[in-house]
């Protein structure tokens, strides 16, 4: 009985039996891991893209400051033009002396 239980063909049968039982579960785990890897790669890409966008926004602050100063300058120039037009509209009336009778 001991010799028959330890015969190589019986050992191979036991290995085959073990593989047949555990292989579907291992294949399912492999499939799950591949799916999780794809999801994590997508998430990593999304995070890297967001970080890149934020870095570009912080780098563009110089341009926004320049735009802000140009807009303030343009508003000041417009105010000066409006004030000059207001004075030129009032000035010709003051230059004409009233008619004396």
Rg (C-alpha) for the chain, rounded Å, is: 43
Cα dihedral 88, 92, 93, 94 sign: positive
Q: Could you report the per-residue pLDDT of 6-41, keeping only the tens digit for each?
A: 777 877 888 889 889 999 999 999 999 999 999 999
Helix (H) or strand (E) run with residue 26 in it:
helix 8-59
d(CA 27, CA 33): 10
Our CA angle for 65, 71, 73, nearest 5°, is 105
What is residue 1's predicted lDDT score, i.e. its pLDDT? 67
Q: Is the pTM of this model over 0.75?
A: no
Q: Could you report the per-residue pLDDT of 58-85, keeping only the tens digit for each?
A: 888 888 899 999 999 999 999 999 998 8
What is residue 51's predicted lDDT score, i.e. its pLDDT? 94
Whether residue 10 contacts residue 2, with contact meaning beta carbons closer than 8 Å, is answered with no
Question: What is the rounded (10 degree) CA torsion for 62, 66, 69, 70?
Answer: -170
């Amino acid at each position: 009985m001991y010799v028959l239980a330890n015969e190589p063909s019986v050992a191979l049968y036991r290995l085959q039996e073990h593989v047949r039982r555990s292989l579907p579960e291992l294949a399912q785990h492999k499939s799950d891991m591949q799916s999780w890897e794809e999801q994590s790669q997508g998430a990593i890409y999304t995070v890297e893209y967001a970080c890149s966008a934020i870095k570009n926004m912080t780098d563009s602050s110089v341009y926004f400051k320049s735009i802000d100063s140009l807009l303030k300058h343009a508003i000041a120039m417009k105010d000066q033009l409006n004030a000059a037009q207001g004075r030129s509209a009032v000035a010709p009336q003051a230059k004409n002396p009233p008619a004396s009778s």
